[in-house]
Structure 1
Amino acid sequence: MDELSPTKINRWKTLDKDLGRIALLEDASAMIARPTVAVGLAVIFILVCGLAAAGVVGAGPGTITIVIAAAFGAYMALNIGANDVANNMGPAVGANALTMSGALVIAAIFETAGSMIAGGDVVSTISSGIVAPSAVADPTIFIRAMMAALIASSVWLNLATWLGAPVSTTHAIVGGVMGAGVAAAGFAAVQWGTLGQIAASWVISPVMGGLIAAILLAFINRYIKDASDRLDAARRWVPALIGLMAGTFAAYLALKGLRQVADISMTQSLLLGLAVGLIAWAIFRPIIRRQSEAMANRKRDLKKLFSLPLIASAALLSFAHGANDVANAVGPLAAIVHAVHSADASEAVAIPTWVMAIGALGISFGLLLFGPRLIRLVGQEITKLNQMRAYCVALSAAVTVIAASALGLPVSSTHIALGGVFGVGFFREWEEERRARVLNLKKGKPVAPEERKRRKLVRRVHVLGIGAAWVVTVPLTALLSALIFWSIGLVS
């Protein structure tokens, strides 16, 4: 074969460069198209929700108002799915117990189920518990206030998601409702007692989530991870932890879901939870034993036993989140529909099924379209998680959210879940510091400052950034909501 001439070689090099540029251009186009497609699908969903609302309510006075409110309710639900659901699935993904696609599918199913089965009580708190409809004499003013709250919270949440900040959607909507209520009828319109309880829960819930997660991790470390025979300890305790999770879920489902068809007391629901927990413990004892038979007595192998309960607890947390946070999307929408159709603003706010469906589907679509970014942040960038640590985070968050939702209190699942992540991380720091102190005391030397700094296992930049976002959300959305309320008044 004849050798290629220098001219031909240069031509081939030029062709390779051109093909490389084309491939690079195609990759860049694909990267641009993905968010564009997601935004396009989100816009279509919002339009469909508005048209569906028009079809349900029919032609009549207030139809346009309900259509606009339904569109913004759908917009809010999308943003909740994009931002808040990361706290449920982030630990499981960060611990490699779930793939991103598997997490998205599980979360979408259980978020929808939780919203539709058990979301009504908290919707009532958001729609009428913060600003009473009776406090605003003119229904038109009340509708304008709820619309301003929806728009303000949606815009801020969208911006926070774009910035990569896992803010509290509950903070956003409560701040929006409060700001619009004050602008509409003064400070007397706000039910400060209810708001005080909600505000207290914002402080209590992350502390509870962090403490429960740290206690669970301390228990697992002492009785399983640090045991001389780790596999034997795991066979004893892992089924019990699974039973605890299953019993909690059963009690909550009975209290919230079955109450719609039967009168079930707290005692009955707890007894049912105890029964389900014992059954789950009995079922998983042989399963965990079989899984552990082929494992070595090593910490690395031990973590695999927590993958299945971690997945189950993440699903449980998604159900609880759907029940609790659907209120943030459709609470104001339910109040607007009530105000349009009811002559008496003081009546209890009914929750139409189509309103709940907008919230449930919107959360799921928002998760699928925009959720992966913050899922990675929560699961991988705050502190290092493995299956055991992530399970502690998920179970502690689930227990806290379920307790709050059973009381009809719209606590922030963001605070609870991230409190659990921080709790696990700070507990690990404390434990490492304690062990190093004991070891150095035996050696007769103190712990060096640089060694203390090296053992910081929680990224402080995320602690400060997330904390700042939590602080600014309520006043910012309240101010924005008040401005939007006044702007709507000027336009109309």
Structure 2
Amino acid sequence: MATEPQLAHLGRGDRDASGRPKNQWKTLDKDLGRIGRLEEAAMFIARPLVAPGLALAFVVLATVGALAVFGLDNSGWIVVAAAAVGAYMALNIGANDVANNMGPAVGAKALTMGGALAIAAVAEVSGAFIAGGDVVGTISGGIVAPDQVAEPHLFVRLMMSALIAAAVWINLATALGAPVSTTHSVVGGVVGAGVVAAGFDAVNWPMVGQIAASWVISPVMGGVIAAAFLAFIKARISYAEDKLSAAKLWVPILVGIMAGAFGTYLITKGLKRLIHVSPAEALLAGAVIGLVAWAVARPAVARHARGAENRKKSLKPMFALPLVIAAALLSFAHGANDVANAVGPLAAVVHTVAAGDVATAVELPIWVMAIGALGISVGLVLFGPKLITMVGSEITKLNPMRAFCVALSAAITVIVASWLGLPVSSTHIAVGAIFGVGFYREWHAERRARALGLAKGKVLAPEERARRKLVRRSHMTTIAAAWVVTVPFSALLAAAIYWGLTLVAR
């Protein structure tokens, strides 16, 4: 602040009309203010570009890695291009597929979004590297007859087309907020490219029909099993007169069932590279794991019930920890099984370029596995929260008990369907289980409201019944449409890409 002697030296031009000194830095202050607002605007605009920028950096890193291994000599550029597409595919699988495992736990508030992302990333990478397959099929389970695409250049073109088409479709589905099956996306891509490459007769249409049947089988099985467990919990625990005593009896049993189901699930699906057992042996091992979990859960539940109140709110924490463990195990199994969807076609291209022939199954190089595992985790962290929120919170309201039923249904349905030889999708099962829980809640709430209304001589108006719907129909329509469109869209897109690559090759 200027002193009086200093002010005395100010000339007339330095004072305003009232004789007070002018602000000599007014213009500079205005310029600095404009610069500050410009920086804020630039940060606001740039913030949405951070995630795509990091994703692009990962794709570039994968490309550089492939370039270091193969170079650009001869056909090395094909492997480099395939590595870029494989990395892009892995990012999209992480953004879309993993939401089915973590969404219920986040929606039930058993996990924060940050905790879910951290657990899923670690579990996905661990599942891929510990239990991921050494050998992957190259024609997606026999969709296209291998002898029809025996020429290496045709085979590489088919794999590239299928991979690009599947990745683009999953990216679009994620933007639309629809969890879709990555397996079905890859299969659709192989079908479309295979038809252009070798004709309709080269495609195994009965298998394609089985995949189409899974659009109905998977969600219905998942929904029915999840609804059945929720009905059991409500009848035996939530509406019991002594809720805590009922919880001490039944919650350890339910935890034991969950542990046994996941033990069997992981042995048969997630640890197939490390352990080779028959279905009966897997079931026996799961039973032992379930008994151990039941024995551990009994004192833990009893301790929680000792100081709790006899109301529903006291029951929810009993299911929270098992739900978190279930979400982690689902992510582990996903990493072990579905990483091949991202890098299976890439591994096939690598083998074909290196060996000069076409094989029905190929080894999975460690650097290819790293692209798939790390890409899924990076995609999850950068783009996963959108679908995690939608799956966990926007279809229907979940709490730990309802989310527990969803996770348990996912494990049991996969096991039962595998033993029965039914084609199922883990994505469809998990989402179907959430819808099953939501529709059961609707039916149960309406039945109770109707009974209460009849007791009081009242009848609910149609408008009031519509207002009480507990499942968002808009999400159901979007998701169902995306499921039906997945194979045809991927097939048409892959066919167009294959045709374009053929024109370029000429």
TM-score normalized by the length of structure 1: 0.90
Distance 1:25 1:95, change over 3 A: farther
Q: Secondary structure at the match of 2:326?
A: helix
Of the candidates 454, 460, 464, which is equivalent to residue 477 of structure 2?
A: 464
Q: Which residue of 1 aligns with 2:318?
A: 305
Superposed CA deviations along residues 414-471 of structure 1, whole A, max 9, x for unmatched, are 2111111111110001111111222233334433212211221111111111112222
Shift, 1:167, TM fit: 2.9
Aligned to 1:250: 263
How far has the Cα of 1:52 moved from its partner? 2.2
CA displacement at 1:490 relative to structure 2: 0.8
Amino acid at match of 1:193: P
| In 1, Cα distance between equivalents of 2:28 and 2:223 | 59
Partner of 2:12: none
Question: What's the % identity of the aligned pairs?
Answer: 65
Q: 1:477 to 1:259 in 2, by over 3 A?
A: closer
SS in 2 for 1:457: coil
User: Shift in Å at residue 19 of structure 1?
Assistant: 9.3
Q: Distance in 1 between matches of 2:83 and 2:328?
A: 28
Deviation digits for residues 204-261 of structure 1, max 9, x if unmatched?
1111111111111111111111111111111112222222222222223333455534
Match status 1:113 vs 2:126: yes
- Structure 2 equivalent of residue 89 of structure 1: 102
SS at match of 1:436: helix
Taking only aligned residues, the RMSD between alpha carbons, in angstroms, comes to 3.2
| 1:182/1:190 contact within 8 Å kept | yes
Find the counterpart in structure 1 of residue 177 from structure 2: 164
> What residue identity is the alignment partner of 1:354?
W
Counterpart mapping for 1:264-413 below 5 A: 264-342=277-355, 344-401=357-414, 411-413=424-426
CA shift for structure 1 position 342: 4.1
Amino acid at match of 2:264: A
Query: Cα–Cα, structure 1 residues 471 and 127, in superposed 2: closer, same or farther, change >3 Å?
Result: closer
The within-5 A match list for 1:132-143 is: 132-143=145-156
Match of 1:181 among 191, 194, 206: 194
Tell me the distance in 2 between the aligned counterparts of 1:253 and 1:491: 45
Structure-2 separation of matches of 1:188 and 1:159: 30
Amino acid at match of 2:101: N
CA separation of 1:108 and 1:262: change in aligned 2, threshold 3 A: closer
Per the alignment, residue 420 of structure 1 pairs with 433
| Structure 1 range deviating more: 18-27 or 70-79 | 18-27
Task: Name whichever of 46-55 and 278-287 sits farther off.
Answer: 46-55
Change (3 A) 1:66 1:398: same
Pair 1:343–1:231, CA change in 2 (3 A)? same
CA contact (8 A) 2:352 2:358 kept: yes
CA positional deviation for 1:410? 7.7
The DSSP-based 3-state class of the residue aligned with 2:315 is helix
1:349 is paired with a residue of what secondary structure?
strand
Deviations 1:244-293 (A, max 9, x none): 22222222333345553454222222211111111111111111111222
Map Cα deviations across residues 376-396 of structure 1 (whole Å, 9 max, x no partner): 111111111111111111221
Corresponding residue for 1:232?
A: 245
Aligned partner of 1:47 in structure 2 is 60
Q: Distance in 2 between matches of 1:65 and 1:104?
A: 33
Conserved in 1, the CA contact under 8 Å of 2:179 and 2:479?
yes
Partner of 1:73: 86
* 1:175-218 deviations in Å (ceiling 9; x for gaps): 11110111111112212233233222232111111111111111
Long gaps (5+) in structure 1: none
| In structure 2, distance between residues paired with 1:21 and 1:164 | 38
Distance verdict in 2 for CA 1:109–1:100, change over 3 Å: same
Whole-angstrom distance in 2 between the partners of 1:98 and 1:27: 33
- 2:498 alignment counterpart: 485
Q: Is the 8 A contact 1:122 1:405 kept in 2?
A: no
Structure 2 CA distance for aligned equivalents of residues 21 and 305 of structure 1? 55
CA distance in 1, matches of 2:110, 2:258: 17
Q: Give the number of the structure whose alpha-carbon radius of gyration is greater.
A: 2
Q: Shift in Å at residue 79 of structure 1? A: 0.5
Who is 2:254 aligned against? 241
Q: Does 1:103 align with 2:116?
A: yes
CA–CA distance in structure 1, aligned partners of residues 32 and 310 of structure 2: 53
By how many angstroms is 1:60 displaced? 5.9
C-alpha spacing 1:168/1:356, structure 2 compared with 1 (3 Å) = same
Which digits, 9 at most, give the CA deviation of each residue in 1:150-196, with x for residues without a partner?
11111222222233333332232221111011111111221223323
Give the direction of change, closer, same or farther, for the CA distance of 1:237–1:355 in structure 2 (3 Å limit): same
Distance 1:260 1:401, change over 3 A: same
Residue 203 (1) aligns with residue 216 (2): yes
Q: Distance in 2 between matches of 1:294 and 1:411?
A: 43
User: Which blocks of at least 5 consecutive residues in structure 2 are unaligned?
Assistant: 1-15
Gap change, CA 1:329 and 1:404, over 3 Å in 2: farther
Q: Does 1:194 pair with 2:207?
A: yes
In structure 2, C-alpha distance between the alignment counterparts of 1:35 and 1:400, rounded to whole Å? 38
